[in-house]
Amino acid sequence: MDIRPILTTLRRHKTAAALIVFEVALTCAIICNAVFLIENRIQRMQRPSGMVENELVRVAIRGINAKGDKQAQTHADLALLRSLPGVKAATVVNQVRYGDSSWNSGINLSSDQKVPTTSISTYLSDPQFIETMGLKLIAGRNFNPEEMINYAKAREPGANYPVPSAIITRALAEKLFPGQDPLGKSFYSWGDAPTHVVGVVEHLMRPNDGFGLGSAEYSVIFPIEMSFDDGIYLLRVDPSQRQQILKSAGEALAKNGPLRILSDKNALVESMADKYLQTDRSMVWLLSAVCIALLIVTALGIVGLASFWVQQRTKQIGVRRALGATRGQILRYFQTENFLLTSIGIVLGMALAFAINLALMKYYELPRLPAVYLPMGALCLWLLGQFAVYGPARRAAMVPPALATRSA
């Protein structure tokens, strides 16, 4: 089809054409970035934490009287918890995913290293930690009882207890020792002595994403025993009995030993996860609504402009029909016109999309917009434009030549 008549017509309607181009460009730029953000949020929500979240119960208890052997009391508590019906395993740990506390540290590959290789999240627990959390040990072994260190003694003034072993995540192993077998390798993070890798777990997320998504799985498990007053009890239970066990565990702990109080933050880990991810879910719904609204507004704009132009060009259409133009040719005329306007808007929208993405990268530390989103956005808007213009174009093609000519 010869597009010169279309270009001539568009030059006579510059303002209306410019509005459609601007609308398409803005829609293209916003939708490309919005869809990218939606996908990032969905991927973030779908990341495996490594834990069996639907089986975990969190119980924290604090002592009122500082006297007594807290470590011995902790051992008694764990024995009691593990004996409760429905409890598969129990441990005490310093932090948990989705919690409000995060223990972090730098990690070095040599003793004289000035700048840490990366930041890690440090989990302190006993040999039952892996079983309780449901972690998958993909290489090496679990901790031996003789490797355990008392947290209170390790924190005494002047104490410099070496931590000889640790279990790390696969993501951290690839960061520290790319392409190598991490077992037996050493690093420096706790004290001046090297720590040797004895095991690797597939996944274990940080408590939160405060250090960025790239290091979300940079976690290390140290064989350091916490007391009930410093840590959190985690129970792996039958999912159908979680609420019942949460209640019975709290009551049993309150009666087991000296006067203590239960924390008001005791909860199911699955409920903690649901609350933690609520912001991401809300963002996905909000951005989805924005995309749908923009597409609807853009489609209505195209329909309105095309309908207006059909009314304005009634005589022109009638003359072309009288000269032998078929209905199909009239239909293709408006479709081609819309395709040209949409294409110009898409080109401008792509440039604007990259500009918006650069701003998001600068101020919100988001990754670069992949180029694949641009052709996907272009295809979506082309299809939207053709769908929106079809109704007005079809009405133009159905106008009888004689009636169109008398309407001059």
- Whether the per-residue pLDDT at 404 is higher than 60: the answer is no
- Facing residues of 221 across strands? 123, 167
Region 380-406: mean pLDDT is 79
Q: What is the pLDDT of residues 72-82, one digit of tens each?
A: 899 999 999 99
How far apart CA 200 and CA 185 sit, in angstroms, is: 12
Q: What is the pLDDT of residues 221-232, one digit of tens each?
A: 999 999 988 899
Q: What is the pLDDT of residues 286-320, one digit of tens each?
A: 999 999 999 999 999 888 888 887 777 777 777 77
Domain boundaries, the chain: 4-46+279-406, 53-275
SS3 readout for 140-189: ECCCCHHHCEEHHHHCCCCCCCCCCEEEEEHHHHHHHCCCCCCCCCEEEC
Q: What is the pLDDT of residues 17-69, one digit of tens each?
A: 888 889 899 999 999 999 999 998 998 898 999 999 999 999 988 877 666 78
**pLDDT at site 407:** 45
**CA 148 distance to own-chain centroid:** 35
Q: What is the pTM of this model?
A: 0.81
How far apart CA 379 and CA 356 sit, in angstroms, is: 20
Compute how many other C-beta atoms are within 10 angstroms of the C-beta atom of residue 380.
Answer: 18
